[in-house]
Amino acid sequence: MAERKPIESWLTDMDGVLMHEGIPVPGADAFIKRLREADRPFLVLTNNSIYTPRDLHARLSRIGLDFPMANIWTSALATAQFLDEQRPGGTAYVIGEAGLTTALHDIGYVLTDAEPDYVVLGETRTYSFEALTKAIRLINDGARFIATNPDEIGPSMEGALPATGSVAALITKATGREPYFIGKPNPLMMRSGLNAIGAHSESSAMIGDRMDTDVRAGLEAGMETILVLTGVTKMDEVDRYPYRPSTVVNSIADLVERVV
């Protein structure tokens, strides 16, 4: 195997890596502090499109993970950037929360249900039958179907919640149209994130807690991949996948000394 370049830039997932159910993972604060002291480019990523970077910055700061808002990259931001590149100044019918609608407003998109260019599906806690029906009819009438991420379930204190991927499957079943998913494991989200911080894949690492999204996305983007065992994927599950991470560690705390 060819030797990789030293890691100069870091991308890390948020939930399951830096925090778990609103509580920071031990060592996460030390890792962020080391990144900032070493002046290393980094991004904290999330497939969740509900919150704006400002919202996430406030939540992370409250639990002691303080870093600039510009270091947060969400599937909503990646979706907005993709649409701005594909069809600048377009229109969209959106099912989602402020994280997604704000990102689309910021690129100059008009949100409408009158012959939109796109139907954009994101995360929300209040999926409505009326909104889904409208989305289905607009797609049948020719709107292009975009979804922020393929995650099928999301966590809550009460248990699993249906997430974007599950709702997208419902719309696909009704229309026969598959969405284009922007978030992980699509390496597009990784590449757009790397571009945002001026980084190169061959000298960057992706840290995640899921083999099927984080590790796969990092691998397909040409990055070094590091799996932490503080989230979804457990050690006995790694060999079930046809690909492997570059490194497996117990937690983010084990990576502090690798930041130089």
* 66 classed as catalytic: no
- Catalytic residue (one of 15, 29, 117, 214): 15
The pair of three-digit structure tokens given for residue 251, joined into one six-digit string: 């937690």
- Catalytic residue (one of 13, 151, 209, 214): 13
The pair of three-digit structure tokens given for residue 1, joined into one six-digit string: 């195997």
The pair of three-digit structure tokens given for residue 162, joined into one six-digit string: 């249906």
* 113 classed as catalytic: no
Strand partners, 45: 13, 73
One-letter amino acid of 83: L
Indicate which residues carry an active-site annotation.
Answer: 13, 15
